[in-house]
């Protein structure tokens, strides 16, 4: 049986005011791997099927599909066989339900966790420091809206998985869904596309800071923790749970809503970047506090309305929403204001989706410079932006601009993914092909 023997160079400790945490017992330099953790359970997003192997998350052409459901794809028979204990939870149901098979990604992950827990005889390599059952659940902190959402998830679990799974009692299910809500990781690729959802118990011990010294990235179904700052012996290691683009008030609200705590990191107490993030247009008439407050309210409402509209509006309508809100915000905010950047980033995404590459470049070029100022030094948000721009330039026959953007992406990617990662070697190959 695997005992909790620990991870070399890393130790668990009681972090003042934060509960459990991890710190280093030796020095780590920028780009160095602190540790990696295989996923305890994971699920590939439905949208990635056919592009990525369901078992090992390798991205390649010519994957073989499951002969029964024709929906799951694998590198080879070996990957398919390894994945069968998890795929069998869905294979038959997908055939039976047809178009009506629609469990959420969270439900799919929880079903796999239940199956794994049932089969598990000993501590897994994902639980060297922390057992799955020991992860925070924050059940008592859930509001009615979250409780309702969890009940809907539980109903979905019963609807789609009751044939192949014995469920624990209702209370245990509530706990499990809450644990996944607080500790689940979205597995992303180098362009920050969502590949799937996974749970990594040992990584769940990392506390949050808005000025993190490590970053979590993915290599297949393994999560890797790499230093993005030099770390001295005895220092706690912090990752960021959220997108760091936004001002302090927005970040704190998101942390309270999603993870039930408030952050007291240096960035949140000094609010040092807020003035830059909330930059206001230089106008001949002075812009008053009330006008700024009203525009912030408008901006936040626009972001929320856009998020909801994504479900049912056409790309043309969505782009119009972005352009209208950018125009209105521009009367008060500077172009590098994060609320304008947020909507420009959304607009770029729509242009990419509709293959309007000129439009995508136009928005991307407005966003990239402020991003390099507002995000930390080694940020996936910045790297993925350079990557997207590089690929757009190449598609538009602007080779030199493309190579330049790729080079900037590479500098960040070698630190956050490691020099031997396939994302890095593939990009270098892409650059050599020009």
Note the pLDDT tens digit of each residue in 371-403: 999 999 999 999 999 999 999 999 999 999 999
**Cβ pair 408, 370 in contact under 8 A:** no
**Rounded average pLDDT over 51-69:** 96
Residue 4 has pLDDT above 70, yes or no: no
**Cβ pair 319, 331 in contact under 8 A:** no
Both tokens of 215, joined, read 């970053």
Instruction: Measure Cα distances from 331 to 14, 80, 423 in Å.
Output: 49, 56, 41
d(CA 109, CA 87): 11
For 50-65, b/e burial (b = at least 16 CB within 10 A) is eebbbbbbeeeeebee
What are the beta bridge partners of residue 13? Answer: 21
180 Cβ neighbours under 8 A, 6+ residues apart? 106, 109, 110, 113, 199
- Among candidate residues 116, 132, 123, the one with its CA nearest the CA of residue 200: 132
Residue 407: the pLDDT is 98
d(CA 287, CA 289): 7
**Rounded average pLDDT over 340-360:** 97
**pLDDT over 70 for what percent of the chain?**
99
Helix, strand, or coil here: 38? strand
Instruction: Measure Cα distances from 86 to 41, 411, 421 in Å.
Output: 9, 38, 27
Residue 347 has pLDDT above 50, yes or no: yes
Instruction: Measure Cα distances from 2 to 26, 124, 129, 203, 309 in Å.
Output: 25, 7, 11, 18, 48
Residue 79: the pLDDT is 97
- What is the secondary structure of 313-382 as a DSSP string? S-HHHHHHHHHHHHHHHTTTB-TTSHHHHHHHHHHHHHHHHTT-HHHHHHHHHHHHHHHHHHS-SS-HHH
381 Cβ neighbours under 8 A, 6+ residues apart? 192, 243, 244, 245, 371, 375
Q: How far apart are the first and last CA of the chain?
A: 52
Query: What's the gap between Cα 163 and its chain centre?
Result: 32
**Cβ pair 83, 72 in contact under 8 A:** yes
pLDDT digits (tens, 9 = 90+) for 76-115: 999 999 999 999 999 999 999 999 999 999 999 999 999 9
Using 50, 70 and 90 to split pLDDT, how confident is the model at 5? low
**Rounded average pLDDT over 169-175:** 96
Query: What's the gap between Cα 7 and its chain centre?
Result: 25
**Cβ pair 135, 183 in contact under 8 A:** yes
Kindly report the pTM of this predicted structure. 0.93
**Cβ pair 248, 268 in contact under 8 A:** yes
Both tokens of 109, joined, read 């992950």
Q: Average pLDDT of the chain?
A: 95
pLDDT digits (tens, 9 = 90+) for 297-334: 999 999 999 999 998 999 999 999 999 999 999 999 99
**C-alpha radius of gyration, the chain, whole number:** 23
């Amino acid at each position: 049986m695997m005992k909790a023997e620990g991870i070399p160079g890393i130790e668990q400790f009681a972090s003042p005011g934060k509960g459990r945490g991890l710190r280093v017992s030796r020095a780590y330099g920028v780009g160095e791997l602190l540790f990696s953790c295989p996923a305890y359970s994971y699920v590939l997003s439905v949208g990635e099927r056919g592009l990525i192997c369901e078992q090992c998350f390798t991205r390649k052409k010519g994957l073989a599909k499951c002969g029964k459901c024709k929906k799951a794809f694998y590198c080879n028979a070996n990957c398919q066989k390894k994945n069968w204990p998890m795929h069998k939870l869905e294979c038959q149901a997908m055939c039976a339900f047809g178009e009506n098979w629609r469990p959420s990604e969270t439900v799919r992950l929880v079903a796999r966790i239940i199956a794994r827990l049932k089969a598990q005889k000993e501590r897994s390599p994902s639980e060297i420091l922390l057992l799955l059952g020991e992860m925070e659940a924050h059940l008592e902190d859930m509001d009615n809206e979250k409780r309702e959402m969890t009940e809907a998830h539980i109903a979905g679990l019963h609807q789609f998985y009751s044939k192949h799974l014995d469920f624990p009692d209702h209370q245990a299910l509530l706990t499990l869904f809450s644990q996944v809500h607080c500790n689940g990781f979205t597995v992303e690729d180098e362009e920050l596309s969502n590949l799937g959802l996974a749970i990594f118990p040992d990584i769940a011990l990392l506390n949050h800071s808005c000025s993190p010294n490590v970053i979590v990235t993915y290599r297949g179904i393994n999560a890797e923790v790499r230093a993005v700052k030099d770390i001295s012996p005895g220092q706690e290691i912090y990752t960021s749970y959220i997108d760091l683009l936004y001002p302090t008030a927005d970040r704190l609200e998101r942390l309270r809503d999603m993870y039930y705590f408030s952050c007291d990191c240096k960035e949140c107490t000094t609010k040092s970047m807020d003035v830059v993030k909330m930059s206001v247009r230089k106008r001949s008439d002075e812009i008053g506090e009330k006008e700024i407050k009203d525009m912030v309210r408008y901006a936040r409402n626009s972001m929320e309305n856009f998020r909801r509209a994504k479900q049912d509006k056409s790309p043309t309508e969505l782009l119009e929403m972005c352009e209208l809100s950018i125009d209105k915000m521009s009367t008060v905010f500077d172009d590098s204001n994060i609320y304008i950047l947020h909507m420009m980033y959304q607009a770029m995404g729509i242009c990419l989706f509709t293959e309007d590459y000129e439009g995508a470049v136009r928005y991307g070029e407005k966003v990239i410079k402020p991003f390099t100022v507002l995000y930390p030094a080694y940020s996936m948000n910045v790297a993925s932006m350079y990557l997207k721009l590089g690929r757009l330039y190449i598609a538009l026959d602007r080779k030199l601009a493309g190579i330049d953007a790729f080079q900037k992406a590479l500098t960040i990617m070698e630190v956050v993914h490691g020099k031997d990662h396939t994302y890095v070697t593939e990009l270098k190959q892409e650059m050599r092909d020009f």
